[in-house]
Amino acid sequence: MTTSATPVKDNASPRALLGGRSIPGRVVPVIVTFVLFVLLFGVGAARYDGFTSGQVLANLFIDNAFLIVLAVGMTFVIVTGGIDLSVGAVVALSTMVAAAGLRAGLPLPLVVLLVLAMGSTLGLLMGLVIHHFEIQPFIVTLAGMFLARGLCFVVGVESISIKDDVFRSVATSPILLPGGVSITWSVLIALVIVAVAAWVLHRTRFGRTAYAIGGSEGSATLMGLPVARVKVGVYVISGLCSAIAGLLFGLYMLSGYGLHAVGMELDAIASVVIGGTLLSGGVGYVLGSLLGVLVLGVIQTLISFQGTLSSWWTKIAIGTLLLLFVVMQRAFMRRQP
C-alpha cells in the first residue's frame, strides 16, 4: 500500500484516495456500504428512543441470519461472474424436507445431513450444466428455481409445523451476552460461516481462482488454473449455503412451507451488490455482503420503528439503493485502467 499523494495505477488493484491515504479502489464500495449503514443507524438513533440499544443491533443479526448465509453463497457465485436464482426456492425446499423428515421420525442429525446433501447436489448439477454445456447461469438457475419450488409441493402442499423438541430448543434457547443482550444459535452459525467463507474466498487458491474467473475466464484457463473445478464448486457452495439458510429459516419460522422465501434470492443478490461485489465478477468481499444484509436490516428496522409506513417501502428503498450501487459500480469499472 502506497502513501503517495497521487493514486498509483495498477491493473490488478486500482487505487482511490480516502483521507489522504491510498487504498485499493475495490475496497471503496465496501467502505461506502459501511458508511451508509452507520448513517442509517444514526438516523434511527436521532429519531427514535431505544434505537441504539444493544438488542436492536442484535436483532439485525437474529432476523437476518438466514439471509447472511444466503448472501455468503451468492458472493462466491457473483465473484465468478455468475448468478444463482435458485437459492430462495432451495431455502423453501430445505424447510420442507427438514419438516417432513422430522415429522416422519427421522433423527435430527440425519435430517440435517439430508438437507445439506440435497442443497449441495442441486448446486453441483447446476454448476456442471453451466460449465460443460456453456449455458448462461441465469437460465440454468432459473430452471433450478422452478425445480426446487416444484419439489416443495411434491413433499407437501400445506405448511408443516416442526415439533421436534431438540430443533425447537435450538430455535428458542438464547445466547446471553454482556449488557442484557441476547442472540440466537442461528446468529452464531451465520457468523461462523461468514468467517470460514471469508478465509476460503480471500486466503485460498480456490478463492483466488474464483476472482480470476470473474476477471477473465479465458485468461484464467490460459494460466492453467482449475477453472472447471472452481466454476462448478461455487455453485456447490451456493447450494450448500442455501440449504444451511433453509435450516436457519426453519429455526426462525419453526415450519416448512413451499411458499417460504419467495423473492429471497433477490434480497440476497441486492445484499451482495450493495456490499460492493461487482455483477460482472472479479471484485467482492464476504464482509461487504454481510454489511449489505445489515443495511437492508436497518432499513426494515427504521420502517418498523416509524410504524405508519407499509412494509413495501422496504422494497422501494432496497430498489433505490440497488440502482445507486449498480451506477456506482459502472463508474468504478470506467475508472479502471
Banded pLDDT at 334 (limits 50, 70, 90): low
pTM above threshold 0.75: yes
Q: CA-CA distance, 180 to 234, in Å (whole number)?
A: 39
Mean pLDDT of 61-71: 97
pLDDT above 70 as % of the chain: 91
Query: In the structure, what pLDDT confidence band is assigned to residue 329 with cuts at 50, 70 and 90?
Result: confident
Mean pLDDT of 281-310: 90
Pick from 245, 258, 242: which is nearest to 100 by CA?
A: 258
HSE-CB for 139 with a 13 A CA cutoff = 7
pLDDT-above-90 percentage for the chain: 75
For 82-119, the pLDDT digits (tens) are 999 999 999 999 999 999 999 999 999 999 999 999 99
In the chain, domain spans: 27-42+52-335
Reported as a pLDDT band with limits 50, 70 and 90, residue 21 is low
Mean pLDDT of all residues in 34-45: 93
Q: Which of these ranges, 122-126, 148-152, 282-286, 309-313, has the smallest mean pLDDT?
A: 309-313
- Is-contact 298 41, C-beta < 8 A? yes
Q: Is the pLDDT of residue 298 over 90?
A: yes
